[in-house]
Structure 1
Amino acid sequence: MVRQLFPISALLLGSALLLFAGGINSLLLPVRGTSEGFSAASLGLLGTGWAIGYVLGCWWTPRLVGRVGHVRSFGVMSSFAGVALLMSLLFLTPYVWVPLRGLSGFCFAGAAMIVESWLSERADATSRGKVFGVYTMVNLGASTAGQLVLTTGDTSGYLFFVLGAIFYSLALVPTAISSSVSPRPLVSVKLDLRALWRNSPVAVFGVFCVGISNSAFGTLAAVYADRAGLALASLALFASLPVLAGALTQVPVGFLSDRFDRRKVLLGVAFLALAVDMVFLVLQPEDRMLNLVLSATFGAAIYAMYPVIIAHANDHADDGHFIQTSGGLLMIFGMGSIFGPAVAGFAMSGVGQQGLFLTTAAAHLGLILFVMVRVAIRAPVAEEEKSDFVMAPSARGATPETAALAVGEEELGEEAGDDEAAAEKSEDAESEPRDPVAP
């Protein structure tokens, strides 16, 4: 295992440093914004800006990589992410923070696509699953550590802005000095909404609702925790525990979805999320431990939905279309992510902190009702016709390259096309830009 990971250690280290800085950045802004008196609506728009930037990053990164290559493109992404964080310190106003957060989203999408395409190229058929698992765990661990480091100091000064910028700069070093050969051009994914809808209405509608819910909670959880009276240490746990819990529940949820109708498993998870929504709405707990338990339970539910939806969509998709299906659904998730934080932010400004869970409850209720209708009118997929369940990180941190890294070597070869054609494109990449990823 060590021998397999050593050649990609520079990529994993660069990704870890980037995600560590991103963890600081993602929690620092809502915490500092709250102390500066920013409204919940303006803080919600930070998530909207991030989502717009992330979708645009998935669109334009292949073109940039085609022009200047992987290493230079990754350096650009890391540098501009650091610039965005430092400019957030210079201009303490949401009018500047929102577009800067969009720039951060663009940079993270680009950096993730570059690293994942590199890892996908370096991993062979026997190690792809291990590489994907290690990559996911490294990112989760680094992002969580970045969030928790905020508990060690005062967020009212400049310390964490500078610290985050330092790690953004360090992130470009491993790939810059690595001797690894740059991979073939990035995966190009075309979004065909009609084909996706014909494939699985549950997947299309469901991933849009999950995008609304997950992005709203991911952006405004810290604001909710602050208004609930939690101290900074507890606030950081309130925001980070759900992601870890969601990663842990993917194994049992995936096991169940492989053996039962995936739509019914999705319903069960959605009902659990809705139940937690209602507890937050009705009780509005102030107890520290109860809030942490509820947030972890909520994360275990909401972050386990996305891989179930992807697996269900692939049950109905034609063979060899894993990347197209998951990449298209990722873009729809991004569309939901644009609306979720904005709606939740304005709701919190209007009705108070419970506006966050009013928004997520509406998304989960809509998902439940739609899936129940589809279960009633469409038969489930036979067990022998199901595709394999693939664990996936939170969709907010996924790109079309994540799908390429997750699939097997044979399937990847079928979707990518002829190897010689790919090699020719790689040779011509310096002079001819590739088509951008369609939104």
Structure 2
Amino acid sequence: MSSALKIYALFIGSALLMFGGGLQGLLLSVRGAEEGFSLTALGLIGTGWSVGFVAGSITVPLLVKRVGHIRAYSIMSAIGTVTILLNLLWVQDIGWIVMRAFSGFCFAGAAMIVESWLNEVADNRSRGTIFSVYTTINMAASTVGQLAMAVTGTFGHIPFVVGAIAFICALLPSALTSTPQPRPISSARLDVVLLYKTSPLAVIAAFACGMANGTFGTLAPVYGFEQKLDASTIAYLFAVTAVVGAVAQTPFGRLSDKIDRRLVIVGLSGFAAVIGLVTVLLNPSSGVLMFILFGLYGFGAYPLYAIAVAHANDFARDGEFGRVAGGMLLILGIGLAIGPIIASWVMNAIAPVGLFIVTATFHGALAVTAFLRMKIRPVRDAAGRVRFRAMSAEKGVSPGTVTLDPRGEEKPTPRPAAPAAAPQPQETELLVPDPIEPTVIVERHVKSDGPGDTDKSDKPKPE
């Protein structure tokens, strides 16, 4: 299989994977609400996904090292297919929480294997294009998977079977390849200490994005259900949010390449916080107003994580991109896991619209933190930054994506060096053993770069 054909095949496999993941994630939230699951249970379903995803990111490389890429990918695909079918056969909150953790684990593993294959094919010239196409395909396929719920509905077995078919078909591209397997996958380098030393703001940003995105992605469908929206309307609602958020990444990312990224973070997170508060105050029941507010939320919230990653790596040293991005991954995963639990408690205590209190709180905290950091740390020169690259943080970012990211090969332009000091006379010592006695004869040379100077030597006579 030629390199180009293999890339297209892997893109198709990744698209099928993301299609099934997008459908499953939205389906479980809405169907769980219809089945009468408690808000806490629905929040824990989202938490299970995040815990499984982070665990898979850490442990799957060990499995690949033992059995190889194709067998490991087959395992991931098979278990992912079984879990979504068990969601259909075992309709119980505890069962769905456990199965969702397995889904996150398998999803992380399958994504890492596909990305390692793409990374093997990519070179420095094509890496940026492959990364951009791969990210775009993932966002689009996940959105189409969410839209599929508008066709399949949530009742019966059809949506679960459609998701299972997508997961099992994602296996075919890698299974049919006859080319040698790529190099072993590198395990996730989750260096939070290095991330904090590099950029304290990045730690806050990753956690805030995880809290807000985990809350919104898991419980906003439940909010739509509580507002009496049908399954197709909820699917279209999330598709609009995802599309607007994806479209907003490019202009704001390019803007952050030209001005202080923290200023962009302040603006976007502040905007997302305001939209959350407006949603709380209006508590919309009509579909039109909800579409507007959800679209505006995606516009402000979804570009934040990618910009925060770029900001962190502006200050990273050469060779630290993977470790910094890995630290971002871990902090994001923690936020994705905790956010739905806290939001479910708030929704129980106040009202379903209380989930936007959680998103507004963390977006507001991020805006304030970014503003304060602008007063503490000077801006990095535009010429010394890494370039922005779009990425999705709604359901986590695989370490394989970090490896594939071309910024790992880019070096920020160094700052101008300080002027060199004027040359100074140097004194060197040459130690030569005496051939007769174990004494040392010291020969000193005094050199000067000044005009007219000559070398002088002082050789002691042997005793």
Contact preservation (8 Å) 2:131, 2:405: yes
**Alpha-carbon deviations, 1:186-235, whole Å to 9, x = none?**
12333232221111100011111111001110111211111122222221
Contact preservation (8 Å) 1:20, 1:142: yes
**Alpha-carbon deviations, 1:238-280, whole Å to 9, x = none?**
2222222221111111121111111111000001101110111
Q: Following TM superposition, by how much is the alpha carbon of 1:45 offset from its aligned partner in structure 2, in angstroms?
A: 0.8
Q: Following TM superposition, by how much is the alpha carbon of 1:369 offset from its aligned partner in structure 2, in angstroms?
A: 2.1
Contact preservation (8 Å) 2:190, 2:329: no
Paired residue secondary structure (1:354): helix
Distance in 2, Cα, partners of 1:9 & 1:352: 46
Contact preservation (8 Å) 1:306, 1:395: no
Paired residue secondary structure (1:111): helix
Distance in 2, Cα, partners of 1:135 & 1:93: 35
**Alpha-carbon deviations, 1:411-439, whole Å to 9, x = none?**
59xxxxxxxxxxxxxxxxxxxxxxxxxxx
| Structure 1 residues 252 and 32: CA distance shift in structure 2, 3 A | same
Q: Following TM superposition, by how much is the alpha carbon of 1:408 offset from its aligned partner in structure 2, in angstroms?
A: 5.5
| Structure 1 residues 214 and 154: CA distance shift in structure 2, 3 A | closer
In the alignment, does 2:228 pair up with 1:226? Answer: no
| Structure 1 residues 301 and 281: CA distance shift in structure 2, 3 A | same
Q: Which residue of 2 aligns with 1:298?
A: 297
Q: Following TM superposition, by how much is the alpha carbon of 1:5 offset from its aligned partner in structure 2, in angstroms?
A: 3.9
Q: Following TM superposition, by how much is the alpha carbon of 1:409 offset from its aligned partner in structure 2, in angstroms?
A: 7.9
Paired residues for 1:122-161 under 5 Å: 122-161=121-160
Paired residue secondary structure (2:370): helix
Greater relative contact order, per chain length (Cα 8 Å cut-off, separation 6+): 1
Paired residues for 1:422-433 under 5 Å: none
Q: Residue type matched to 1:339 in 2?
A: I
In the alignment, does 2:325 pair up with 1:347? Answer: no
Q: Following TM superposition, by how much is the alpha carbon of 1:4 offset from its aligned partner in structure 2, in angstroms?
A: 6.5
Aligned residues: 410
Distance in 2, Cα, partners of 1:377 & 1:411: 27
Distance in 2, Cα, partners of 1:42 & 1:7: 41
Q: Which residue of 2 aligns with 1:427?
A: none
Q: Which residue of 2 aligns with 1:240?
A: 239
**Alpha-carbon deviations, 1:167-203, whole Å to 9, x = none?**
2111112211112321111123332322211111000
Distance in 2, Cα, partners of 1:292 & 1:80: 35
Q: Which residue of 2 aligns with 1:281?
A: 280
Q: Residue type matched to 2:96 in 1?
A: W
Please say which of residues 263-272 and 393-402 is displaced more in the overlay.
393-402
Q: Residue type matched to 1:35 in 2?
A: E
Contact preservation (8 Å) 1:246, 1:303: yes
| Structure 1 residues 316 and 324: CA distance shift in structure 2, 3 A | same
Q: Following TM superposition, by how much is the alpha carbon of 1:68 offset from its aligned partner in structure 2, in angstroms?
A: 0.5
Distance in 2, Cα, partners of 1:43 & 1:188: 31
Q: Which residue of 1 aligns with 2:50?
A: 51
Contact preservation (8 Å) 1:52, 1:338: yes
In the alignment, does 2:103 pair up with 1:113? Answer: no
Q: Which residue of 1 aligns with 2:260?
A: 261
| TM-score w.r.t. length of structure 1 | 0.90
Q: Residue type matched to 1:187 in 2?
A: S
| Structure 1 residues 209 and 152: CA distance shift in structure 2, 3 A | same
Distance in 1, Cα, partners of 2:152 & 2:114: 31
Paired residues for 1:39-438 under 5 Å: 39-394=38-393, 396-407=395-406, 410-411=409-410
Contact preservation (8 Å) 1:310, 1:326: yes
Could you say which structure has the larger radius of gyration?
2
Distance in 2, Cα, partners of 1:145 & 1:75: 24
Distance in 1, Cα, partners of 2:112 & 2:195: 22
Q: Which residue of 1 aligns with 2:429?
A: none
Distance in 1, Cα, partners of 2:10 & 2:353: 41
Distance in 2, Cα, partners of 1:136 & 1:237: 21
Distance in 1, Cα, partners of 2:405 & 2:190: 19
Q: Which residue of 2 aligns with 1:22?
A: 21
**Alpha-carbon deviations, 1:374-407, whole Å to 9, x = none?**
2222221122222222222226341111011111
Paired residue secondary structure (1:393): coil
**Alpha-carbon deviations, 1:65-123, whole Å to 9, x = none?**
00011111111111111111111111111111001100000001101111001101111
Distance in 2, Cα, partners of 1:195 & 1:173: 39
Distance in 1, Cα, partners of 2:140 & 2:95: 30
| Structure 1 residues 284 and 405: CA distance shift in structure 2, 3 A | same
Q: Following TM superposition, by how much is the alpha carbon of 1:327 offset from its aligned partner in structure 2, in angstroms?
A: 1.5
Contact preservation (8 Å) 1:333, 1:395: no
Distance in 2, Cα, partners of 1:319 & 1:178: 35
Q: Residue type matched to 1:57 in 2?
A: G
What's the % identity of the aligned pairs?
42
Paired residue secondary structure (1:396): coil
Please say which of residues 53-62 and 184-193 is displaced more in the overlay.
184-193
**Alpha-carbon deviations, 1:311-358, whole Å to 9, x = none?**
111111102221111111111100111100111122112211112101
Q: Which residue of 1 aligns with 2:452?
A: none
Q: Following TM superposition, by how much is the alpha carbon of 1:410 offset from its aligned partner in structure 2, in angstroms?
A: 4.4
Distance in 1, Cα, partners of 2:315 & 2:407: 19
Structure 1 unaligned residues grouped into runs of 5+: 413-439
Paired residue secondary structure (1:337): helix
Distance in 2, Cα, partners of 1:5 & 1:211: 35
Structure 2 unaligned residues grouped into runs of 5+: 412-463
Contact preservation (8 Å) 1:27, 1:147: yes
Distance in 1, Cα, partners of 2:290 & 2:90: 33
Distance in 1, Cα, partners of 2:3 & 2:289: 42
Larger strand percent: 2
Distance in 2, Cα, partners of 1:40 & 1:31: 11
Q: Which residue of 2 aligns with 1:431?
A: none
Distance in 1, Cα, partners of 2:125 & 2:24: 36
Q: Residue type matched to 2:289 in 1?
A: L
Larger helix percent: 1
Contact preservation (8 Å) 1:5, 1:131: no
Distance in 1, Cα, partners of 2:85 & 2:102: 12
